[in-house]
């Protein structure tokens, strides 16, 4: 038993039970408004929740969902109470007194997984959906919950199992008159899977961005308009803007959703030239921050000549993904000076909003090349764990192909195929180690 909704105040608060005694516990505590011979499955009944002494605890709606047509595939009962910490606590106590145990975090979803209703990738999608911070992020999670990733993995697995069966038939029955497998057929089968695995791996950049969002660092010397740009992008005044150079003392982090991508904008104090001999240290620190960002917006004051501090900032993000933003375009036209030749530069005005749309489109376009990819049909890889597993699978398949060209023994080749299959199985949960499962389900809240 567990609270299926938040236990804070709300319209309703739902207590969920799962397991073979759910119906019994519900019957013992729920008194329907009209006497019932039997409770129909998946039908909502109005009545009262009673404690052991028969005292009314709440006026509720109750539903019984008999397995296997339930979230966990077990018998599930839900009691919809008035939402509030106390009614929910009392309702929970009733079931615990009857003999139910408080569910562990994610236990209902774990049971759905263990009972085969969803696979591991789908279970992970449940928590992603709950945690998603943007519409596109939730769409990615929904696709995964719907089985998009799982279906790709099953397709790879089926194809590899076919190759493995060719290899194993010969290993297992060498004395029978089975022809040794054609090496070409083995190679073709595996190469086909490799192509598809690579295709799926390529979707990771977009998938990750949609799911986790981007961290964008706004860098530039004091007074070029970094805070103003941040505010303009956010559409409301949150960072402090002043006329005095160097007021963005602390790092300010703000989130927004741009073209479906959740962004974290990090406005840092500019790179300052100081009198101490620690100029290099300043650059090093900036570079450190820069190294953790997905994109750097290098802000310049377009109304002024490029100064030494600008060049310092430029230097700090030389090896990163950078967009140069020439701010204060309202003060006059801007042409990129020679040191900026290798960069994409966009003139904007944080004051008038000029150029901001171009900047936004550019950012979205950099990370979602198939922008507008709302109706994306195929599977989108967004989970690092899945990516690791696919990389492991790919390595095993590469070793398999090398082995075939070396004419390794079939036993060795079978080993690599099994390793590749094992890696695929960790995504869908067939071969996932216990501790990884624990880690995944511990991310859930109680009651999910
Ligand atoms: P930061 O130190 O880089 O964060 O710069 P601020 O955002 O605090 O801005 C410094 C000064 O530049 C302020 O006086 C702003 O009003 C001014 N400023 C910022 N953006 C623009 C712009 O697009 N056009 C003009 N004309 N002034 C701007």
- CA of 265 relative to ligand 1 center, distance in Å: 17
- CA of 41 relative to ligand 1 center, distance in Å: 64
Best residue among 225, 299, 353 to mutate for probing ligand 1's pocket (most ligand atoms within 8 Å of CB) is: 225
What's the mean per-residue pLDDT of the chain? 86
What residue owns the CA closest to ligand 1's atom 2? 223
Whether 253 has a pLDDT exceeding 60, the answer reads: yes
Whether residue 328 has its Cβ less than 6 Å from ligand 1: yes
- CA of 243 relative to ligand 1 center, distance in Å: 7
Q: What is the pLDDT of residues 80-133, one digit of tens each?
A: 999 889 989 999 999 999 999 999 999 999 999 999 999 999 999 998 888 887
Whether residue 228 has its Cβ less than 6 Å from ligand 1: yes
Whether residue 237 has its Cβ less than 6 Å from ligand 1: no
Whether residue 222 has its Cβ less than 6 Å from ligand 1: yes
Q: What is the pLDDT of residues 332-362, one digit of tens each?
A: 988 888 888 888 999 999 999 999 999 988 9
Tell me the average pLDDT across 428-433.
91
Q: Which atom of ligand 1 is nearest to the CA of 231?
A: 7
- CA of 241 relative to ligand 1 center, distance in Å: 7
Peptide bond into 309 cis (omega under 30): no
Whether residue 231 has its Cβ less than 6 Å from ligand 1: no
pLDDT of 125: 92
Strand pairing partners for 76? 18, 65
- CA of 254 relative to ligand 1 center, distance in Å: 18
Q: What is the pLDDT of residues 191-214, one digit of tens each?
A: 999 999 999 999 998 888 888 888
pLDDT of 374: 45
- CA of 319 relative to ligand 1 center, distance in Å: 27
Whether residue 242 has its Cβ less than 6 Å from ligand 1: yes
What residue owns the CA closest to ligand 1's atom 24? 328
How far apart are the C-alpha atoms of 352 and 361, rounded to whole Å?
Answer: 18
Best residue among 218, 220, 228 to mutate for probing ligand 1's pocket (most ligand atoms within 8 Å of CB) is: 228
What residue owns the CA closest to ligand 1's atom 8? 241
pLDDT of 172: 73
Whether residue 44 has its Cβ less than 6 Å from ligand 1: no
pLDDT of 247: 44
Best residue among 223, 244, 272, 307 to mutate for probing ligand 1's pocket (most ligand atoms within 8 Å of CB) is: 223
- CA of 246 relative to ligand 1 center, distance in Å: 11
Q: Which atom of ligand 1 is nearest to the CA of 331?
A: 26
pLDDT of 238: 52
Whether 4 has a pLDDT exceeding 90, the answer reads: yes
Q: Which atom of ligand 1 is nearest to the CA of 350?
A: 23
Kindly give, in sequence order, each residue whose CB lies less than 8 Å from that of residue 142, ignoring residues fewer than 6 positions away.
125, 129
Tell me the average pLDDT across 415-425.
97
- CA of 394 relative to ligand 1 center, distance in Å: 50
Q: 242: pLDDT confidence band, cut at 50, 70 and 90?
A: very low
Q: 150: pLDDT confidence band, cut at 50, 70 and 90?
A: very high
Q: What is the pLDDT of residues 307-321, one digit of tens each?
A: 888 888 888 787 778
Q: Percentage of the chain surpassing pLDDT 70?
A: 88
- CA of 228 relative to ligand 1 center, distance in Å: 6
Whether 379 has a pLDDT exceeding 90, the answer reads: no
Q: What is the pLDDT of residues 262-287, one digit of tens each?
A: 888 877 655 565 555 545 565 566 67
Whether residue 377 has its Cβ less than 6 Å from ligand 1: no
- CA of 302 relative to ligand 1 center, distance in Å: 11
What residue owns the CA closest to ligand 1's atom 19? 225
Strand pairing partners for 44? 63
- CA of 232 relative to ligand 1 center, distance in Å: 11
């Amino acid at each position: 038993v567990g609270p299926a909704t938040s236990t804070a105040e709300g319209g309703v608060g739902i207590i969920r039970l799962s397991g073979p005694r759910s119906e019994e516990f519900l019957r013992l505590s729920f008194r329907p408004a009209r006497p019932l011979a039997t409770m129909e499955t998946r039908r909502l009944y109005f009545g009262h929740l009673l404690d052991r002494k028969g005292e009314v605890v709440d006026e509720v709606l109750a539903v019984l969902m008999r397995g296997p047509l339930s979230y966990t595939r077990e018998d599930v009962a839900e009691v919809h109470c008035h939402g509030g910490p106390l009614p929910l606590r009392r309702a929970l106590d009733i079931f615990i007194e009857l003999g139910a145990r408080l569910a562990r975090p994610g236990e209902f979803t774990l049971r759905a997984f263990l009972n085969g209703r969803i696979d591991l990738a789908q279970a992970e999608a449940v928590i992603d959906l709950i945690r998603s911070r943007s519409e596109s992020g939730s769409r990615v999670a929904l696709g995964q919950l719907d089985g998009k990733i799982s279906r790709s993995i099953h397709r790879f697995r089926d194809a590899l199992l076919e190759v493995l069966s060719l290899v194993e038939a010969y290993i297992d029955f060498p004395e029978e008159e089975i022809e040794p497998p054609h090496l070409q057929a083995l190679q073709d089968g595996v190469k086909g899977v490799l192509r598809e695995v690579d295709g799926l791996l390529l979707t990771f950049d977009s998938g990750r961005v949609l799911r986790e969002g981007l961290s964008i660092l706004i860098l530039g010397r004091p007074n070029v308009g970094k805070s103003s740009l941040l505010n303009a992008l956010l559409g409301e005044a949150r960072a402090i803007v002043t006329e005095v150079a160097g007021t963005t003392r602390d790092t300010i982090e703000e989130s927004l959703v741009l073209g479906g991508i959740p962004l974290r904008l990090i406005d840092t104090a500019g790179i300052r030239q100081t009198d101490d001999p620690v100029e290099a240290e300043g650059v090093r620190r900036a570079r450190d921050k820069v190294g953790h960002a997905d994109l750097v917006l290098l802000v310049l004051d377009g109304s002024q000549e490029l100064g030494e501090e600008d060049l310092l900032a430029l230097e700090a993000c030389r090896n990163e993904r950078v967009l140069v933003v020439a701010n204060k375009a309202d003060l006059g036209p801007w042409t990129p000076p020679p040191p900026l030749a290798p960069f994409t530069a966009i003139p904007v005005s944080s004051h008038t909003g000029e150029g901001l749309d171009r900047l936004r489109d550019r950012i979205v376009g950099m990370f979602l090349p198939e922008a507008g990819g709302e109706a994306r049909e195929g599977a989108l890889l967004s989970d690092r764990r899945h990516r690791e597993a696919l990389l492991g699978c790919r390595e095993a398949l590469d070793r398999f192909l090398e082995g075939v060209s070396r004419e390794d023994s079939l036993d060795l080749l079978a080993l690599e195929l099994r390793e590749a299959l094992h890696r695929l199985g960790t995504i869908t949960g067939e071969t996932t180690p216990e501790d990884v499962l624990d880690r995944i389900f511990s991310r859930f809240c109680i009651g999910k």
